[in-house]
Structure formats: C-alpha cells, structure tokens
Structure 1
Amino acid sequence: MTTVAFIGAGSVKFTSDLVANILAFPELATAALRLHDVDASRLATAGMVAESVARQLGAAPRVSMHASRRDALEGADFVINTVLIGGAAAAATDLEVPERFGVRQTVGDTLGIGGILRGVRTLPFLRQLAEDMAVACPDAFLLNYTNPMAMSIGYLARIAPSLKAFGLCHSVHHTVADLCALLGVDREEVVWTSAGVNHQAWVLRFEHAGENLYDRLDARIRADPELRRSLRVDMYRRFGFFPTETSKHNSEYVPWYLPRPDEVDRLRLPGVSDRLRANADDVRESEQVRTALERGEEVRLPDGAVEYAPQIIHSVVSGSPRVIQVNTPNTGLIGNLPAGAPVEVGASVDASGVHPWHVGDLPAVCAALNRSYLNVVELTIEAVLREDPRAIRHAAMLDPSTAAALPVDRIWDLCDALVAAHGDVLPRWARAPVSADGSR
C-alpha cells in the first residue's frame, strides 16, 4: 500500500486539492493518507476534508490523523510538506513591521525582508523534518510546497544531501497556460521550456507548429496598452524572456518597482493591506469549510490542473512517465548559476524517480538577475547554518527591494524590529542582539 504523509495538513485548501488529485488515480484510490498538524482543530478539519473528498470520488483510502509527526512519517513512501511556521500571525508581522519602515511588500514569502524572516523560521523546522525522515522513512520522497521554496531546497541540500527532496510550485504551469489562452493556442500543442529559480524562472522556448510564439506575443502587447501595465510584461519587454511568476511576486525580487510610488501606480501593484486581506480570507475560508463539514455538507472538489506532487506519486507507483517542473540543487543543470544553488528546471518522472533536466546556460541577463536573487538565498541559509544573527542583516542588506527602499542603518533597525516583533517564533540565536560592528 502506498503511504503518503501530509505535514502541515491543516492547510485546508492544499490538503483538499492534493488528496483529491491523489485519489483520482485508480492506482492510489486505496492509499494510506496520514495527516499531521500541530493544531488539533485544524488537524480534525483536515481529516474531515480527506474523508469528504474520498466519499465524493468513491475512493477507499486509509485516512489517519497524527498529533505526532514521527508517527505520521513512519514507513511513508512520500512526504508532502505544506507547513507555515508561525501561521498567519507571523506572516502578517513580516508585512506590517516593514511597512512601518517604508518597505512595501506584496506577498513576503520568497525573497524580500519578509521572505528572509520566513526562511529563518522555516529552515530549522526542515532540519527536524529531515532528521525524523532519516529514521522513520529514509527512502521516502520529500515533496515540498512550503515557501520560501529556494531557501528550503538549498538548505535541505546542505544538511541532508541524501534526502530525495524536490520543491514543487505551479507557477510555471499557470504562466504557460495563461500565455496560451492570451494567444489563442492549444497548450497541449505548444512546445516550451522554462528554467531559472523559483518564482523567477524564464520561458526560454515558446513555439507552436514551428512558430515562435514570442513574435505573436509582441504583437499582442503592442496592440493592448493595458497589457503594458503588467509588471511581468514590463520585465519581458526589457529582458526578452517571459518571467514565470505573477507581477506581485516578481515585484519583490527586484529594486525597480515597489520603492517607487509612480511605478506602483503605473503597474497597478497591490499593497500590504491587499495581502493581509487575502490571508484573512484564507483563514475565514478554512473556518467556513469546517463549519460546513460539521453540518454534513461536502467539501468542494478542485477543478483544473493536477498538482505536481500527485503526479510524482502516480508516476513512481505506476511507472507512467510524465514531465513536470521541480526545484532541485544545481548539479550542473544551469551552467551560469552557482553550483549547488537551488534552481527550477523541467524534469522527467517515472518508476525510477525524478530526473531533472540539463539546461545549459541561461541568457546572460536572466542569469545575472537570478544570481542577485540567489545571493539573498545563500546568505539566509548561511545565517541558519551558522546560527548567526548578523548574517540575517547581511541578507537584508543584499536584498534588492529592501536595499532600494532603505539606507543601511534603517535596514538594521528594521531587522531589530522584526526580530523583536516575532519573539519566540524565531529560534533563540536569531533573537540575540547584534551591533553593526559584529559585537553582541
């Protein structure tokens, strides 16, 4: 029997979608689904969600709920991680405190000062998870959805190089689908490749029946002024390759947009309040799902694309080959990005596992921007590996958007304020005071 452990199962939307995608495969309809969350109420909701999905699909999985992470992991074949350390409250702190310093963010989960602090919270948990897996299920695949994705995969490669860990994100899939819809072509007939880093990869090839679809996209953009008010269209026009993440995400990883109110207005970028409302809506939706299930109603089944984790599980179990995108260490996959750095590339999946593709060199300007992104990733990982609070400040100083918004003294003040606001959600070492000259 295939056993899948869900770590952070209280993420109701993720759990609902993933369980539905898994059970839709006949070979997985009787899988053992072990749900773990540290919040007992959310874990109970996750259990009801899984049972509701199974009933509607006519599947007969063995669903169990586990307060103990180790129990959930014991003998698992696949581990899906969707944990948010600190929950919605910590995510709000990542946005609200920087806003008081004049640092605008739109999401705060990947790069930027919010992504850095999320990394400092998340990476120590990943060490615990990797250590548990080494004992309880050493041969299992770890399929990670938790952000910051690049920091997570880069850190795991450093501390647990034998772990079969892959980072999964649907941004590339959705980007290609949206571009195909915009241009009126069937996605199944399009030939494309993408590579780069998570949330900042590039569509390198985009063709249909021998036609370079970038030519058609250029004409579409020239004809539509509203398209030119999209940040990632703006980046595409300047870089020559379309970025694979939404404008709100992309805005946080570069210095040119969020610190400038005129650019925020021109490109219609959301603010902190928009993200806080979205986060609150997610919490409210989870509560509504629980209430509906307690009344005997069924959870709504997802529609649209199958998530990558269920595709990996099905391919490994059934031997059915398929192609996906994964985040993985750079073992020569992209020639002009640092060795060992977390990169996002295409991959083949079959019964023998996941096989990332060699890409070669990225276009020089794309690689240069990715290296700027990876500087922040590397410094955050180093901060956690060395338990060095000064390195948190180094990551913030090198972060493009933060550095464009604040002078260096204010960046350090901001880090001090965030550390104080987060309190014991952060590891003890991260809360140690540190001066600009390195003394504590």
Structure 2
Amino acid sequence: MRAGHCAPGWNVTSMKDIEHPIPVRIAYVGGGSLNWAPTLMADLAHDTRLDAEVRLYDLDPAAAERNARMGGRYAEVSNGTPARYRAVPSPREALEGADVVVVSILPGRFDDMAQDIGIPARYGIPQAVGDTVGPGGFVRAMRAIPMLAEIARAIGEHAPNAWVCNLTNPMSVLTGALHAAFPGIRAWGECHEVTKIRRQVAGIANADAGSDRWSFRDVEVNVLGINHFTFVDAISLGGRDMLPAYRAFAAANASGVNETVPGEDAEHDRYFGSKCLVKFDLYDRFGIPGAAGDRHLAEFLPVGDYLADPGRWGFGLTPVEYRTRDQARRRARAEALAAGEIAPVAKRSDEALIDQIVALAGGGTFVSNVNLPNRGQLAGIPEGAIVETNALFSGLGITPLVAGHLPEGLHDIIADHAARQSALLQAVMAGEGGALFPLFHEDPLVRHMPETEARRMFGEMIAATSAWLPENLKGAA
C-alpha cells in the first residue's frame, strides 16, 4: 500500500488529542551541535505534546554546557511544558534510561572536510557538498563509521530499547553502521531534503488557488531511493493528483526556478540554493521527479553530467570557507542566546523529529520519509541495504511502507550506489583496508580516472585524514 493512502495526511495527521504531555527522556549525542540542537530546542519550545528531559553529551563538554544554558532560555518561552536540559560528562549518563537517542556529530573537523573537497578538486573532480558519495563522502564515511559503531555499542549497553534518530551524514552508510554494530538497535535516519519538492508542490497549488492555502506539510509523496538521491512517483494534495501539475510546472520552467531556504540570507542561497535544473533534467531522463536538492543529486552521477558545469545547471559548489564562517556565526548566536543577550523564539522548523517522537510514544500515527534497512520496501535493492522510503510511525514502532520499483536505468544507478555503500560499511567494520580502493575507484565521480591517478588521489586523502582513522585503515591506499 502506498504511503499516501495509509494515513489521512502525509506528515501531519492522526495525532491524538493529548490531555497530558507525554514524558520523554532524550539523549543527545553530539549535544554541542550548533545546527540540529538549536533546531530541536526551538521545536520543543513550540510543541505542546511532550514533557522532555534532554541530556546533552559532547566530546567538547564546554559546548554541551553552553547548549544546556541555551536550552534553558528556550524553555522560558515554551508554549507547553518547558523542556529541561542538562549537560552530562559521559555517554552512559546521557543514555541510561533514555527513550530516544539523537545522534548528530561532525565526523572530524571542517579542516578535514576542506581536504575532502580540495584534494579531489585538484584532480578535476568538483563536489557541491562532498559529504555523501563521491571521493569526499567516501573518506568521510571511513572516518565516521567507527564513531557511529562506538555510539551504537554504547546504546546497546545503556539504552537497548531506545529509539535512535541519526542526523549525521553520510546518512545511508552511518545509519547502516548503527544497525551493523548493534543489530537490535531501533534506529532510523532522518533527512529533510524531500521537503524541497513538497514545498514546490504546495506553491503550485497555492498559485492555482490564488491564496496561501497549503503548506508543504499537506503534500503527500511516495518516496523511492537512497539518501540524497531520492525521487517521487506519486504526489497528492487535498485528494488531487499533483503529478500532472508538477510536470507542467517543470516544463514551464525550463530555464529554472529558484529553490532557496526560507529565512536565509543571499550568500547562503548562493551556495545552497539551486534553479532545480538537475531535478527537472532527471525528470526528463527517467520519467520521475527528483526530490532531493540539485547539489546532492548531481554528486551521484558522472562529473560530465552536471558537476563539470554547475553554473549551466544553476547550482553552486559550497566552499568550506563559507561553512567555517557560518559555523562561527552560529557559535556566536548560540553563545549570545545562552548568555541572555538575544531572545529565543519558539518556532516550528521543517524537521519531522518531534512528530516522529510523539507518534512512537503513542500520540497517534505519522508518515514521513526515513532511512531504514531494506525489508522489501524498495523493490530490487538487496535486503539490508539502507534505503529511503516512507514509513509509518506509531506506538507499534516504525513500519516501512512499500514504495515500489524505480524506473529502469535509475534503478541501476541507485542499486550500484547502494551496493557500494553496503560494501564500504562492511569493509570498514571488518578492518579490510585492501577492499576500500576498488570501491573508491568504482564511484561514478572517480571511475573515469586511470587507476594510478585515482590511487594517488586516494592516498592523499587518506594521509590528510589519517589522524581520524583506525590503524587498520591508514594503509588502505
């Protein structure tokens, strides 16, 4: 049964009237986060259904302490029961008794990400993001898999029955690492990229209606793919099949349409926005609309398809230098919030995590796209590979919904990536460094390179990030 037919509404619905707030204990691993943690705090302040205790653990204790103070400020403006925030010094103290675990870490430093992008660029491989696939995503995964495996084992020891939400990229590989290190884990990967196409569809419907009647939360889509390379083959809004309208929208905007992040400044939009030309071109090529943003979609295909000329395709390459400046800005804002110098705002974000938690706690049902091991929800992809489709959240748990089959051609591309991601995870978990370079060389962004040149690039990238690698992977090149 398709996701759009499983609940009264995709991403909003069937939430019960809750007389008393639901108590929930949240362990936040990476609790010094400057992006996802403040977003969660604003969402909890806006929400009226949960009575949350949040324990923040971070390798940087000062960052966790700052965020605990910041969380206290958000609690002051709460619409419901104020959440309580506490920084804790160890994973055990964060995890014991937790109902929900949120994993949001930076695998390495921005300096490492700069090498992930800069070294391939010198070899003629531009990357728009560099955190999911391609050479940058591959080496980032090598750093991060052991970290996520360690977190999963700690969850198995201290919170084996907790629900676990992974927010860390590369999403597919790292969600797989949680399941591989602790097979009993109840974990899913959460990503907001599909929001982009849902926002477009709501805009189309509002233009037709002549008023702002619909939001992206009203749009139902059937999601198929792997993280950051997602597609939709059914779209519904208010009972109306929106695929014909979306097809007309794409045809009418052959020169592109601006896709930006609400509330962000012009510089952010220059690096993170797009004209959706990649999305529309993939629609023409495969007969199915792309759901993720163009910057991500482009990285799953050979350099010559889109990345060789991003200007032509209307998207930018996000420089690490901008990310570093943006991180400093976020840090300054967090410190000002924690110190009471600026006022927090209880505001609902685009993220689905709060609704997912409420549903898992018995507060109703909720459908959204998530990353889970394949149990047949995506046809033709091996069982156990991490795929992104819709799932039903309820008091019974997380139930993947059958998405169907991808179009021929597109299926082959996604199956190739899914197999490589699974093999990469297996090799790193087993410490089989010798298996890594062949996988690295098979990536569509790398496979055009002569083996000697690709191996030299891989060696430079391994050397640049060796401080974060286990000993048995340092000689992988």
Which residue in 2 is equivalent to 1:127?
149
CA deviation digits over 1:307-339, x for unaligned, max 9?
A: 222212111224221111111001111221111
1:65 is the counterpart of 2:62: no
Output the CA distance in 2 between the equivalents of 1:392 and 1:345: 28
* Counterpart contact for 2:129–2:296, Cα < 8 Å: yes
Show CA shifts across 1:90-123 (max 9, x none).
2222111211222111111111111111111111
Report the CA distance between 1:304 and its aligned residue: 5.0
**Cα contact 2:29–2:102 (8 A) shared by 1:** yes
- How far the C-alpha of 1:227 sits from its partner, in A, is 1.7
Q: Counterparts of 1:419 and 1:204 in 2: how far apart (Å)?
A: 39
Q: How many Å separate the matches in 2 of 1:90 and 1:117? A: 10
1:371-390 paired onto structure 2 within 5 Å: 371-390=415-434
CA 1:417 to 1:303, structure 2 compared with 1: closer, same or farther past 3 Å?
same
1:247 pairs, out of 289, 294, 304, with: 294
SS of 1:4's equivalent?
strand
C-alpha deviation, 1:13, in angstroms: 2.0
Q: Please name the residue that 1:362 is paired with.
A: 406
Determine whether 1:48 maps to 2:69.
yes
CA drift of 1:397 comes to: 0.9
Q: Distance in 2 between matches of 1:424 and 1:209?
A: 53
Given candidates 297, 301, 319, the residue that maps to 1:275 is 319
**Residue 252 (structure 1) shift:** 0.8
**Which residue is equivalent to 1:326?**
370
Q: What SS does structure 1 have at the residue aligned with 2:35? A: helix
SS of 1:382's partner is helix
- Structure 1 residue 417 and structure 2 residue 463: aligned? no
Partner of 2:394: 350
Instruction: Give the letter for the 1:124 counterpart.
Output: P
Distance 2:346 2:82 in 1: 19
Contact 1:382 1:391 in 2 (8 A): no
Match of 1:265 among 294, 301, 311: 311
Work out whether residues 235 and 243 of structure 2, in 8 Å CA contact, stay in contact via their aligned partners in 1.
yes
Give 1:203-218 correspondences, 5 Å limit. 203-208=232-237, 212-218=241-247
Distance in 1 (alpha carbons) for counterparts of 2:68 and 2:239: 49
CA contact (8 A) 1:17 1:302 kept: no
Q: Does 1:94 align with 2:82?
A: no
| Residues 280-295 of structure 1 mapped to structure 2, 5 A cutoff | 280-293=324-337, 295=339
Instruction: Give yes or no for contact 2:28–2:55 (8 Å, CA) kept in 1.
Output: yes
TM superposition shift of 1:56: 1.5
Q: Offset of 1:266 from its aligned partner?
A: 1.4
More helix by percentage: 1
Looking at structure 2, the residues matched to 63 and 189 of structure 1 have their Cα atoms a distance apart, in angstroms, of 32
Secondary structure of the residue aligned to 1:245 is coil
Change (3 A) 1:189 1:51: closer
SS at match of 1:292: helix
Cα deviation for residue 164 of structure 1 reads 0.2
Q: Map Cα deviations across residues 371-414 of structure 1 (whole Å, 9 max, x no partner).
A: 1221331231122122122222122111111224x222111111
TM-score by length of 2: 0.84
1:321 and 1:47 mapped to 2: Cα distance? 30
Which residue of 2 is the match for residue 438 of structure 1? none
Partners of 2:343 and 2:408 in 1: CA distance: 47
Structure 1 278/376 Cα, relative in aligned 2: closer, same or farther at 3 Å?
farther
**Within 2, Cα distance between the matches of 1:321 and 1:259?**
39
Letter in structure 2 aligned against 1:46: N
In the superposition, relative to structure 1, how do residues 299 and 36 fare at CA in structure 2: closer, same or farther (>3 Å)?
Answer: farther
Distance 1:302 1:285, change over 3 A: farther
Q: Is 1:233 aligned to 2:262, yes or no?
A: no
- Does the 8 Å contact 1:25/1:314 carry over to 2? no
In the alignment, does 2:62 pair up with 1:33?
no
The one-letter amino acid paired with 1:133 is I
CA contact (8 A) 1:203 1:243 kept: yes
Determine the structure 1 residue equivalent to 2:6.
none
SS at structure 2 position matched to 1:345? strand
The one-letter code sitting in structure 2 at the alignment partner of 1:233 is: F
In the TM superposition, residue 294 of structure 1 has moved relative to its aligned partner by: 5.4
Q: Which residue of 2 aligns with 1:394?
A: 438
Q: Which amino acid aligns with 1:333?
A: Q
AA aligned to 2:68 is G
Change (3 A) 1:99 1:350: same
* RMSD (Å) for aligned C-alpha atoms: 2.2
Which AA in structure 2 matches 1:131?
Answer: R
Equivalent position of 1:337 in the other structure: 381
Distance 1:368 1:304, change over 3 A: farther
Farther-moved stretch of structure 1 (172-181 vs 83-92): 172-181
Partner of 2:106 in structure 1?
84
For 1:109, the equivalent position in structure 2 comes to 131
The Cα of 1:171 is off from its aligned counterpart by 1.0
Cα pair 1:104 1:258 within 8 Å, conserved: no
Q: Give the 3 Å change call, closer, same or farther, for CA 379–296 of structure 1 in structure 2.
A: same
Residue identity opposite 1:363 in structure 2? P
- Give, in whole Å, the separation in 2 of the partners of 1:198 and 1:128: 22
Residue identity opposite 2:286 in structure 1: F
318 and 212 in structure 1: CA distance in 2 versus 1, 3 angstrom threshold: closer
C-alpha separation in 1, matches of 2:389 and 2:299: 22
Once residues 34 and 330 of structure 1 are traced to their aligned partners in structure 2, the CA distance between those partners, rounded to angstroms, is 31
Query: Normalising to structure 1: TM-score of the pair?
Result: 0.91
Question: Offset of 1:211 from its aligned partner?
Answer: 5.2
Shift of 1:300: 4.1
Aligned to 1:18: 40
